[in-house]
Structure 1
């Protein structure tokens, strides 16, 4: 049990030495700057939402799409989910499970005004990125001799991502007038944003997979993704304790 772990750590050390400092620095700077604004609702959007009431389908659709496209944590998780999926049928199944999960908790959480502390839920979302990277690396099967059900894991983490969305929407202080239609519109926007982000990822992955470097650097890419997840967890927990 310990030998694969030790070999994995040695391999990780070698990879870290080979990775360029500028690339790692850019990734970490991006994460730190993003996390600094992770809980902030854009002032213009927040002011607009607080001043209006009634059914506003297009504005809420736009806000939902904007949140998903700029949601680095959701995009990182999606990147991990589809990393080794080649057939569109399989991609559709996993993305649908994720969508069902986050749509359910987002709608119920906001409608019943039930949210989780933003720092805590975002730390859990960071944990979902770590989990998916480890799953892609085959760590669970090597370490524990057991491969968790990837479909169930995608659905469960989708539920947590939905609570993350709900906590952001609650910050908008949406008027109860037209709440349900506006929430549905926001969710439609989230799905549109998810499709846009997914399309961009698939285009990049499609080109990368056709190159000899894909399998050679797949391990490295997932290690970087896992590192990003740990950084997010650390930053969110730090924010929780100092806020």
Structure 2
């Protein structure tokens, strides 16, 4: 992995302040609330009405959630942004998958009662964290590089809890719970592979252009801004509803 280092501390600080400002502006001007983890009304009704084992439908729902869950995709984009070897991509994506699969399955099975606003704010934070990592912020600010593999696994665990909270909201039937959850998780991984494939194709073409290194900074600032937007909405939602 080749991190993106900036030419100076002031440039990095300006990027962070710009991202934070854009995020606050989006929240303040009333951009529609992010629904990255929400299950659509039609899917929710289907989940509530069915009973027993339904492998294919739950695989479809899992894949649909992943390819439409832009918080997942943003974090995944950040993770692979500077990964050039498929071996490294496989390691990091597997860690992310291990994390969110573990907590999604455990969270639904054991009925973890976690505030969804807090979890979704942490998911937004994961996007901010990874963008800062790509910008080389931690080495410049603190003089060391956090363990990127451990961070990917930890944030994967958080993403999985976020998904579990939404599934629990719709009181999935206990009959056939385990097979349906496993099918849903398989669908999530299929969706993740589809999203990853699209990301790698686009990144592969972009990296071969002269503009990649010139615009990598801007891309990560935009990514950070979107993370701040997600955080802002969820934090606001927490205080409004409690």
TM beyond 0.5: yes
1:45 CA drift (Å): 1.1
Matching residue of 2:165? 167
Consecutive unaligned residues in structure 1, runs of 5 or more: 17-23
- Residues 200 and 145 from structure 1, CA distance in 2 versus in 1: closer, same or farther, beyond 3 angstroms? same
Distance 2:61 2:116 in 1: 18
- Residues 7 and 41 from structure 1, CA distance in 2 versus in 1: closer, same or farther, beyond 3 angstroms? closer
Stretch deviating more after TM superposition (113-122 or 182-191): 113-122
> Please, which of 169, 179, 182 is the counterpart of residue 180 of structure 2?
182
- Residues 4 and 211 from structure 1, CA distance in 2 versus in 1: closer, same or farther, beyond 3 angstroms? closer
> Please, which of 103, 108, 125 is the counterpart of residue 127 of structure 1?
125
> Please, which of 9, 12, 29 is the counterpart of residue 13 of structure 2?
9
- Residues 38 and 12 from structure 1, CA distance in 2 versus in 1: closer, same or farther, beyond 3 angstroms? closer
1:47 CA drift (Å): 1.2
Question: SS of 1:33's equivalent?
Answer: coil
> Please, which of 41, 44, 65 is the counterpart of residue 42 of structure 2?
44
- Residues 40 and 191 from structure 1, CA distance in 2 versus in 1: closer, same or farther, beyond 3 angstroms? closer
- Residues 38 and 240 from structure 1, CA distance in 2 versus in 1: closer, same or farther, beyond 3 angstroms? farther
Distance 1:61 1:146 in 2: 41
Distance 1:191 1:60 in 2: 12
Matching residue of 1:93? 91
1:20-47 CA distance string (max 9 Å, x none): xxxx89xx59x94361x34643111111
The TM-score, its normalising length taken from structure 2, stands at 0.89
> Please, which of 97, 107, 110 is the counterpart of residue 109 of structure 1?
107
1:52 CA drift (Å): 1.1
Distance 1:189 1:8 in 2: 38
Matching residue of 2:200? 202
Matching residue of 2:217? 219
The TM-score, its normalising length taken from structure 1, stands at 0.88
How many aligned residue pairs are there? Answer: 229
Consecutive unaligned residues in structure 2, runs of 5 or more: 1-6
Distance 2:15 2:226 in 1: 18
- Residues 75 and 132 from structure 1, CA distance in 2 versus in 1: closer, same or farther, beyond 3 angstroms? same
Matching residue of 2:3? none
Matching residue of 1:74? 72
- Residues 34 and 199 from structure 1, CA distance in 2 versus in 1: closer, same or farther, beyond 3 angstroms? farther
